[in-house]
């Protein structure tokens, strides 16, 4: 490594999962140097083949490395660009005694730790930090006296928006509430709240001592409008949050919606009911969810054909469809319409992996369990949207199955944070569970 590098800059050593999370990660360390342990490139080879997002990330990173390749990678390093640091590849290093005493197995993670210890000792006047999304590896590094951090670039700094329930404003001007009931709308310039408190498609409850009203800011008409409680395909909203959700789901001008909340709050059910209510406006309704975090390799261990393999993973979506079907009698037009849509493949429940690569036009697209997607996966999905497509992302940021995502780094939180205030986007966080009193009690106490 170049000896003349300023001592105030840092050295970051990257774990494999960082590259698989964000293939452009090399360019996010400002003017600091980046080291890739050779074992990381070795591990990367295992992920290059496949059709899942993790395989895409691996292939894209390999392409970036191909452009940066050269003999200097192993000596003086190569520049990552203007005002950036240099990239180095570190070959394997002997295990120091402190590593042997703590971890006898020579696993890839421990080989990375051996390189990190070597670099920290060689450049003792510079700050050396191991970057990994693996909590266990970070803990192991700290036990050896190494600095270790998570990859923070795409983390949401303030996730308060994902915890807040319905915004309620008490002691509100009674004349404004009366106007909303009489006319259904109030011009933005006449509304006594500043613009920061009313970003695009912001929902809130306005109250005074005698009455209350559900309202939202409509950016297209630049006015505050009353939210009426309308049902959708047999599903009626049971609380203000659900009424707000249906308002966003049924509004054709809002093309992107995120619904967050704990289990039993009705996120997926409301999204599906709204889709069925508007099925004549779209060529197809797609419901998708990630089968398992990062890839669907485990499908090979289940017996049966493709449909039998994916069936158990899709059951939650089929359960929501059954709830809606049970609202109607066997001879009803609504039930016949659902069955006809399924026959014509106008209503499809499918794993998310089968959606990638498609161009989606005039589709009502619901992505369930979106908290298990990375920010890049969410971006990839949304960029598939063609003309006339509406996308709904639902999930609970407290129930993340992926070992390398958390409440701040998952795609659902990232989407909600970055899109807030955009005219085409709306977000509602549902607090109150409506599945049953037992489910609500368990969610709160267990």
3-31 pLDDT tens trace: 445 567 899 999 999 999 889 999 999 99
Look up the CATH number of the domain holding residue 93.
3.40.50.1010
Task: Mark which of 104, 121, 150 sits at the end of a domain.
Answer: 150
Residues 163 and 115 occupy one common structural domain? no
Distance of CA 384 to the CA centre of its chain: 16
Q: What is the pTM of this model?
A: 0.79
pLDDT confidence band for 311 (50 / 70 / 90): low
Residues 77 and 135 occupy one common structural domain? yes
Determine contact, residues 267/259, Cβ cutoff 8 Å.
yes
Determine contact, residues 365/349, Cβ cutoff 8 Å.
no
Can you tell me the distance from the alpha carbon of 78 to that of 31, in angstroms, rounded to the nearest whole number?
13
Look up the CATH number of the domain holding residue 338.
3.40.50.300
194 in a structural domain? no
Q: What pLDDT score was predicted for residue 7?
A: 62
Residues 119 and 164 occupy one common structural domain? no
Determine contact, residues 393/288, Cβ cutoff 8 Å.
no
213 in a structural domain? no
Please check the confidence at residue 236 and state whether its pLDDT lies above 70: yes
Residues 166 and 108 occupy one common structural domain? no
Residues 119 and 266 occupy one common structural domain? no
200 in a structural domain? no
- Strand-pair partners of 11: 33, 128
182 in a structural domain? no
Please check the confidence at residue 299 and state whether its pLDDT lies above 50: no
Residues 227 and 142 occupy one common structural domain? no
| Sequence-distant (≥ 6) Cβ neighbours of residue 30 within 8 angstroms | 83, 84, 85
Distance set, CA 412 to CA 154, 165, 405 (Å): 12, 17, 11
Distance of CA 338 to the CA centre of its chain: 29
Please check the confidence at residue 295 and state whether its pLDDT lies above 60: no
pLDDT confidence band for 296 (50 / 70 / 90): very low
Determine contact, residues 90/36, Cβ cutoff 8 Å.
yes
Q: How many domains does the structure of the chain reveal?
A: 2
For 50-59, 232-241, 253-262, which range has the lowest pLDDT when averaged over its residues? 50-59
101 in a structural domain? yes
310 in a structural domain? yes
How many C-alpha atoms does 423 have within 13 Å on its Cβ side? Answer: 8
The phi and psi torsions of 258 (rounded to 5 degrees) equal: -120, 130
pLDDT confidence band for 308 (50 / 70 / 90): low
Please check the confidence at residue 111 and state whether its pLDDT lies above 90: yes
pLDDT confidence band for 356 (50 / 70 / 90): low
Residues 250 and 364 occupy one common structural domain? yes
Residues 383 and 317 occupy one common structural domain? yes
Residues 121 and 253 occupy one common structural domain? no
Q: Which domain holds residue 137?
A: 11-150
């Amino acid at each position: 490594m170049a000896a003349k590098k300023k001592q105030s800059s840092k050295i970051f050593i990257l774990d494999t999962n960082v590259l698989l999370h964000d293939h452009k990660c090399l360019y996010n360390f400002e003017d600091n140097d980046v080291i890739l342990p050779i074992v990381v490139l070795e591990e990367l080879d295992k992920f290059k083949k496949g059709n899942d997002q993790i395989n895409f990330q691996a292939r894209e990173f390999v392409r970036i490395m191909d452009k940066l390749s050269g003999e200097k990678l192993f000596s003086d390093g190569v520049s990552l660009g203007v005002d950036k640091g240099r990239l180095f590849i570190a070959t394997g290093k002997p295990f120091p005694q402190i590593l042997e005493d703590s971890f006898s197995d020579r696993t890839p993670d421990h080989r990375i730790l051996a390189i990190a210890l070597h670099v920290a000792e060689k450049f003792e006047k510079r700050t050396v930090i191991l970057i990994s999304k693996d909590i266990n590896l970070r803990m192991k590094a700290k036990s050896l006296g190494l600095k270790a951090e998570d990859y923070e670039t795409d983390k949401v700094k303030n996730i308060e928006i994902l915890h807040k329930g319905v915004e309620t404003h008490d002691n509100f001007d009674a004349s404004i509430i009366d106007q909303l009931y009489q006319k259904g709308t109030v011009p933005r310039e006449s509304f006594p709240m500043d613009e920061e408190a009313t970003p695009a498609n912001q929902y809130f409850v306005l109250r005074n001592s005698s009455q209350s009203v559900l309202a939202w800011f409509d950016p297209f008409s630049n006015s505050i409008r009353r939210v009426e409680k309308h049902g959708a395909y047999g599903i009626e909203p049971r609380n203000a949050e659900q009424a707000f959700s249906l308002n966003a789901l049924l509004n054709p001008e809002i093309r992107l919606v995120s619904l967050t909340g704990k289990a039993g709050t009705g996120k997926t059910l409301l999204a599906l009911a709204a889709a069925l209510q508007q099925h004549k406006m779209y060529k197809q309704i797609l419901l998708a969810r990630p089968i398992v975090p990062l890839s669907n390799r485990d499908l090979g261990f289940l017996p049966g054909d493709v449909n039998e393999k994916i069936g158990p993973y899709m059951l939650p979506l089929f359960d929501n469809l059954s709830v809606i079907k049970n609202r109607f009698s066997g001879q009803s037009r609504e039930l016949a319409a659902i069955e006809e849509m399924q026959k014509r493949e106008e209503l499809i429940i499918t794993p998310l992996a089968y959606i990638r690569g498609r161009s989606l036009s005039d589709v009502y697209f619901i992505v369930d369990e979106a908290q298990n997607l990375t920010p890049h996966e969410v971006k990839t999905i949304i960029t598939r949207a063609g003309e006339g497509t509406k996308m709904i992302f639902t999930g609970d940021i407290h129930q993340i199955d992926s070992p390398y995502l958390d409440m701040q780094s998952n795609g659902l939180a990232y989407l909600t944070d970055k899109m807030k205030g955009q005219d085409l986007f709306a977000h509602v966080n549902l607090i109150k569970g409506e599945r049953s009193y037992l489910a609500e009690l368990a969610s709160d106490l267990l």
